[in-house]
Chains A and B, each alone.
Chain A
Amino acid sequence: MTSVAIVTMCFAVGSIFGGLIVMLTLALTRKANQEETE
């Protein structure tokens, strides 16, 4: 793979999959917080 393709892949995969992982983690943390509160 060319270096520009790798950079674009990191950008796309990083923002999409990275963002998804962060959001899912937030969702899980939030759930735990709620359970504690409840």
Chain B
Amino acid sequence: MIEKKKEYFTSRWGFILSMMGVAVGAGNIWRFSRVVAQNGGGSFIIPWVIFLFIWSIPLMIAEIAMGKLTRKGPIGAIALTAGKSFGWMGAFIAMVTTGILFYYSVVVGWGFSYFFMSVTGKLTSTTDHHALWTNYSQSIFPLLSHLLSITIGCIVVYKGIIHGIERSNKILIPALLAMILVIAIRAVTLPGALQGINYLFEPNFEALLDYKVWLEALTQNAWDTGAGWGLLLVYACYAKKKESVTINACVTALANNAVSLLMGIIIFSTVFAIESSRGAEALISGEGATNTGLTFIYLPKLFMELPGGLFVQILFAAIFFLAFTFAALSSMISMVQLTAQVINELGVKMNKAIMTTGIGAFILGIPSALSLAFFDNQDWVWGLGLIVSGLFIAFAVLRYGIDRYRTQVINITPHDLKLGKFYNITVGVLIPLQGIILIGWFFTQSIVATGENWWNPFGVTSVGTILLQWGLAIVIFLSLNKILVRRTLKS
């Protein structure tokens, strides 16, 4: 077994591609386009670009710098920057990302399954894609593909940073980008595609004044870029000292949003070319209005109507689902690494830590693989937990001293971009403000939607279920804070 701490990413490109692997995930493909459609097309794009610069990039810079500074996972990193009494916050960040890993592995498995269904012709031989998805999601196959994906993730992490993570991302990310380019070329050359591109970029000025559009744009950035997950922090532990902080954060964030934009162009071009009379209706309130509905019901149906015959339809669908799987897999690998590293830093040998992560993720992912309601509950609880994780990272920087952090931790790498005092305002004021507003908005929405049942701890998307699960995690980590910090720092 390779000793993880002695390894470093061998090249700058290996590091950048691995960081891109973290950021580019399912959210770029299955969430971005439908959220754009539901929030007025171009009206969403404007705040989405703005929030990239005032939420995602500053947090990504903070995370990368923290990883390089402390060379520890979230518990150690927060303890060393914010203070030992705040190690529980790092544990919470790790818990949130691990909670996501449990069901994210199921998503990777769905991608695998639909790729195989594409190449074997099962997707083309049916006309009822809704029934296909329902039958599939209620079968044993999501469980088997969940096992397959978590096994692949564990093998990659077991092989180490250089031979596992760096090497796999050097294959997955260029292949993903190539596949996206191929389907983008096909999509934009479809007759009527320009209408879709126009919809994607044409702003509706009334929607631009709607605060919900701005909050949705912030949410997309918070969930989609990988900022605040602790994943970039973990990879940065293995970055060579000379690796830049700001440039790497910017490249990662911009590449991530470039992929989202390309996927948006692909999906809107295809939707408007095939269903010009309905336009984006199916994405707003129809079968494409949910992540799974868009990816596994609506898009396969559209792919089967593409001009060019069966071969083109199968090829388009297969490339799309392989790209989806690669994007999700590269993110999942980093989640396995984070969880295994946290366990390892608590005193467990790395190979045992990986095995524990794999077995734990498989078992705890089973309910999500078998029940879409459970899946939605976990997505709600830990998805929103990411905003809290982002706030904890900003808090650690504040405790360390923002100006000290900027000048003595971030700006010390030679040849890197040097951050000015605006960074202090962003992390000290804008990020806490955005995070608090976002959590308040989600809670209010949930209370309005669930009515008197808002407190129900077993509701799928209630505030009660969040308070129960977050509360349990926080109480446990607070009571174990001393042990967690001592063991982590000792390692």
Contact = CB atoms under 8 A, between A and B. Distances in A.
Interface string B129-155: 000000000000000000000000000
A5 B12 contact: no
B437 interface: no
B254 A4 contact: no
B81 interface: no
B258 interface: yes
A5 B258 contact: no
B415 A20 contact: no
A12 B45 contact: yes
B253 to A, nearest CB: 9
B247 A30 contact: yes
Contacts of A23: 247, 250-251, 254
Question: Which of A2, A5, A34 lies at the interface centre, i.e. has the most chain B CB atoms within 10 A of its CB?
Answer: A5
Contacts of B198: 1-2, 5
A29 to B, nearest CB: 8
A20 B45 contact: no
B144 to A, nearest CB: 38
Contacts of B194: 1
A13 B261 contact: yes
A4 B42 CA distance: 9
B14 interface: no
A1 B265 CA distance: 14
A27 B247 contact: yes
Contacts of B250: 19, 23
A15 B49 contact: yes
Do most interface residues of chain B lie in helix, strand or loop, or is the interface mixed? helix
A2 B203 CA distance: 10
Given A4-B203, A5-B42, A34 B254 contact: no
Contacts of B42: 4-5, 8
A16 B244 contact: no
Contacts of A4: 42, 202-203
A12 B261 contact: yes
Contact of A12 (B49, B247, B251): B49
B46 interface: yes
B201 A6 contact: yes
Contacts of A27: 12, 16, 244, 247-248, 251
Interface string B444-480: 0000000000000000000000000000000000000
A30 B201 contact: no
A30 B261 CA distance: 28
A16 B415 contact: no
Interface in A1-38: 1-2, 4-6, 8-9, 11-13, 15-17, 19-20, 23-24, 26-27, 30-31, 33-34
Interface in B42-76: 42, 45-46, 48-49, 52
B416 interface: yes
B175 to A, nearest CB: 19
B212 interface: no
Contacts of B49: 11-12, 15-16
A7 to B, nearest CB: 8
B417 A26 contact: yes
Nearest to A28: B12
Nearest to A9: B201
Contact of B12 (A2, A16, A31): A31
A8 B242 contact: no
11 contacts: A5-B202, A6-B201, A8-B45, A8-B201, A8-B203, A9-B201, A20-B255, A23-B251, A27-B16, A27-B248, A34-B415
